[in-house]
Chain A
Amino acid sequence: MPARRRRHRQNDYAWTGFLAGVFLAACLFVAPSLDAIGAQQHNKEKKKDKKAAQLSKAFRGKLPITELSEDEATLHALNRLAFGPRPGDVERIKKLGLEKWIDAQLHPDSLDDRTLDTRLEDYPALKLSTAELVDRYPNPQQAAKRAGITLEEYKRGMDAEADKSKAPREVVLELSEAKILRAIYSERQLQEVMTDFWFNHFNVFAAKGPVKWMLPDYEREVIRPHTLGKFRDLLYATAKSPAMLFYLDNWLSADPKAYAQHAKEIEQRRQRFNRLFGGDSRIMIMSRPNANRPNFPRPQNRPQPGQPPQGQAKQPRGLNENYGRELMELHTLGVDGGYTQNDVTQAAMALTGWTMSAPRKDPEFHFDEKIHGAEPKRVLGHTIHAGGMKDGEELLDLLVTQPSTAHFISTKLARKFVSDTPPVALVERMARTFADSDGNIREVMKTMIYSPEFWSRETYRAKIKTPFELVASALRTTGANVERPRALVMWSARIGEPLYACQPPTGYSDKAEAWVNSGALLNRLNFGIVLATGKMNGAQLDVSALLGQNSGTDPDAVLTHAVEVLLGGQVSAETRAVLQKQLNDPQVLQAMFDDPVKNVDAGMITGLVLGSPEFQRR
């Protein structure tokens, strides 16, 4: 089973069959010229390396940086451990010392983040509990029923008052806007990068049932507190979170035998009731709101509100392997982690009874003994028999300590922070730290950051920015003032990454090929243009100020300055030549002549640089 699924997960498989034919042909016709360019580039870089003098101890501390200059190392750190540089960041870090900056990022609580907190006050949903959110942003169907009107009437009412602020999707929008604001403005940059990483690792999907109301709690209470802590705590927190319990169905999972016994008892009680009072108590029991029966979650095909429950034949409940499988495949061991289908089934059995009360009202984790499979379970050769809820905990503890888990988590971190194909030796060192430190994420990150591989020439600008990273870094780099990032949320989706809306439990890919395609690229370019020409709703960018006051008068100075500000001065000679040529385009010269404020060139150059291949990388 795992073998088949692996083929599904990794994109490489698509190409294997063609390697012989297509790839060979491609090599023959395309590769030589590219290789030549690559080699030239490489030689140039080699020369630069030699020029890069030994960096000062005050700057780098114990960081093993040998191939990058101070500026490059600083930019690299800002691009990997943060969402890119803001104006002035490079100078600040060089003054402070890179190691000191990194150390502070590894301890986010030491950083003052009040400026961001002030901005986030505009987003009340972030601080509310799930129950409060359900109440304040009610499901239209339920709200209409409560008000005694039809759904259409309710929706018309919302339209008439232009009051869409109560719509449930507002919860996700607020969260999305906040995510963008945090990425742009938080001082705790690494914390934000890690939150993005771990949410994606333990992905849940906003559009599945009531998950949207659970999201603020999930990110705030489950993910965020543990991003640099113990992996075990993160795993426990997600396993017990209503969002994950619902998204991967574990709240419905029951031992069929235990469930049958339980159902029998209920039936007996019903018959006793009927004998005593006559009539059919079934309808009464079934029409009670779900919330009143916390110990008895219903299958998903519940009757719609306002509709009689008759005809909804109750299905027997059984084991649901969904979470058990993804827990092993995606959360801990990895698809090659050496488990079998039987391990999945047994793990799912260990987790029966891990459910929640009132999923659509006030969801809370609880353990339901009545649907738990009590017999001993056998997972990865170990017997799990702690009893009751402890069965699940024993399972999680077992998974956390597996070498496969250390390796899988380290690989994913290295892929996110180092390269699409991280060096094997680096991953092994990280995995060793993971095992030795009882899954301490901060320690694993340190091992990675204090590795020469992290600072190698090969690693520099080797990652393609995800759409979210592109949006955040463009806003940071240009120093635009963002007041209402709703348009930015939309752009992230347009470029291919709708926030909180990744449907499969795999989360978004961390590899370039997932993000580089025609439609997405065009949207990357258009995003840069909209931002640079001052047309981004809710985000003001003054390009003239960014590129210097007298930008209109000297196009050359503008170009030099743009490359300096937006790309840290690092751009290939070819890119520079292209940009230069565009400035001399007759159409542009005419437009500059016509424009009294003379910022056509500044907007255009900024747009081109934001859309350039260099800016797509980090």
Chain B
Amino acid sequence: MTISRRVFLKGGGVAMLGFGAMPSFLARTVEATATPNKKILVALFQRGAMDGLNVVVPFGEPAYYRMRPSIAIPQPSRTGELSALDLDGFFGLHPSLQALQPLFHDRQLAIVQAVGSPDNTRSHFDAQDYMESGTPGVKSTEDGWLNRYLQQQKEEQSSPFRAIAMGQQMPRMLQGAAPALAIPDIRQFQVMAPGQISGAMSGGFEALYAQTVDHALRGTGQETFEAIDMLKKIRQQNYQPANGAQYPKGRFAQSLQQIAQMIKGNIGLEVAFLDLGGWDHHVNEGSVQGQLSNLLREFGDSLAAFHKDLGETMRDVTLVTMSEFGRTAAENGNRGTDHGHANCMFVLGGDVLGGKVYGKWPGLEREHLYEGRDLNVTTDFRQVLGELVQIHLGNNQLKYVFPGFTYDPHKALGLVRA
């Protein structure tokens, strides 16, 4: 088992943080010898089952247009009307993802098509559960795959911000024995006492927990107050996105911006989680415009802003998207789509070997469809996540992170640079 002693602070990191006393765990890690840059993984869950066929459009596939008479995205057009944005002559992005097209051509963005779970469930509940526990078909797995990664890659003294979920509840993916923090908004992470006594209360709690003989509470107390101090400093910096990045409005973009803020603040963030719901379009899904289009614009613009904001730092960051399953290949009687099987995933970052749509395309002719109706899964979602855990994060214990899944390096897609 490898015990990594990766360094949280590198180069100018100390200077950036350099007000007041440095939190003790950071001071400890600074002493460790310099090793390669700390890698960061951001996991984004699109809850509700995104319609991958209208997001990464197989415009070279006649069956696609046959099965989706009212909602299909037209083939790339040279005359300017809204249509698929060509990626490789066969697949194209939904026009609302315009912000992501340059990232694909700059090889920062990779796409995996026809990826999903081997389990055949079409229940949102079960499928999300499986994708987050990382054990399709096994319901009683208590912890999430991302937490198992953290457990396995134990840091000797880890930052309280090592694993962050942007939200009120700890998502399934990050539940487990390794510490993780769920915060809906970093501005709220503080002792909420009335102004006149806030200093005294905060100081009082800190002193109470510093002196307790209870080992677990003492350690957690120390971590908590260090964390509060660190976030206070980040907040004081009055965050302005860099490089002219403009995040859209809304909770999702704000969460991404706060993740960028924490990454740049060098507070020891290693994995982050956020989600975006509203993908369950059974009725009036829309085509180049409409419900899906609006949601995709928020999604794409936010990701592009995140990428721009992080700039150079993006070389250490990989963001991966997932959704519990795809939707029916054919549209239904309500100009929408129903629960299907395979979907697509986006992988964005400096380590990514982008500019390519990965995965074997199974085709949309009836005989190629899963149970005669859905896009077939040709890549297990754990293959994608496994490559990121193994190559990007540098963890070889995939048996532990994805028990029951045999990761075959020969089948590797080669999504990220070794």
Contacts and interface: CB of A to CB of B under 8 A. Distances in A.
B90 interface: no
A301 interface: yes
B331 to A, nearest CB: 10
B196 A600 contact: yes
B194 A533 contact: yes
Contacts of A505: 139-140
Nearest to B400: A7
Interface stretch (B201-209, B263-271, B376-384): B201-209
A37 interface: yes
Contact of B140 (A5, A150, A578, A617): A5
Nearest to B121: A300
B21 interface: no
A433 B290 CA distance: 65
Contact of B208 (A4, A330, A575): A575
Interface string A37-59: 11001000000000000000000
A409 interface: no
Given A37-B213, A208-B125, A307 B170 contact: no
B3 A516 contact: no
A363 interface: no
Contacts of A5: 138, 140-141
Interface string A10-40: 0100110110011001000000001001100
Contacts of B192: 526, 529-530
B151 interface: yes
B209 A325 contact: no
Contacts of A575: 208, 211-212
Contacts, number: 204
A608 B201 contact: yes
Nearest to A575: B208
A532 to B, nearest CB: 9
B177 interface: yes
B38 interface: no
Nearest to A514: B177
A617 B212 CA distance: 12
Contacts of A304: 282, 338
Given A578-B204, A608-B208, A617-B214, A21 B151 contact: no
Interface in B106-156: 121-123, 125-126, 129, 133, 138-143, 151-152, 154, 156
B333 A300 contact: no
B213 A9 contact: no
Q: Is the interface of A mostly helix, strand, loop or mixed?
A: helix
A150 B123 CA distance: 23
A607 interface: yes
A587 B203 CA distance: 12
B75 to A, nearest CB: 25
Contacts of A303: 338
A5 B212 CA distance: 36
Contacts of A579: 204, 208
Q: Is the interface of B mostly helix, strand, loop or mixed?
A: loop
Contact of A613 (B154, B180, B203, B217): B217
A242 interface: no
Interface in A80-109: none
Nearest to B132: A503
B193 interface: yes
A364 interface: no
B248 interface: no
A326 interface: yes
A514 to B, nearest CB: 8
B15 interface: no
Contacts of A504: 129, 133, 139-142
Contacts of B154: 14, 17-18, 22
B223 interface: yes
A582 B206 CA distance: 11
Nearest to B330: A311
A575 B212 CA distance: 8
Interface in B194-241: 194, 196-197, 199-201, 203-205, 207-209, 211-218, 220-221, 223-224, 227-228
B332 A607 contact: no
A588 interface: yes
A384 B142 CA distance: 31
B373 to A, nearest CB: 6
6 contacts: A4-B404, A34-B213, A41-B213, A313-B372, A330-B140, A529-B201
Given A519-B183, A522-B189, 6 more contacts: A14-B151, A300-B122, A572-B212, A575-B212, A578-B211, A603-B197
Interface of A: 4-5, 7-9, 11, 14-15, 17-18, 21-22, 25, 34, 37-38, 41, 150-151, 205, 207-209, 248, 300-301, 303-304, 306-308, 311-313, 315, 322, 325-326, 329-330, 464, 493-494, 496, 498, 503-506, 512-513, 516-519, 521-522, 525-526, 529-530, 533, 572, 574-575, 578-579, 581-582, 585, 587-588, 590-591, 594, 600, 603-604, 607-608, 611-613, 616-617
Interface of B: 1, 3, 121-123, 125-126, 129, 133, 138-143, 151-152, 154, 156, 160, 168-170, 172, 176-183, 189-194, 196-197, 199-201, 203-205, 207-209, 211-218, 220-221, 223-224, 227-228, 282-283, 328, 330, 332-334, 338-339, 371-373, 403-404
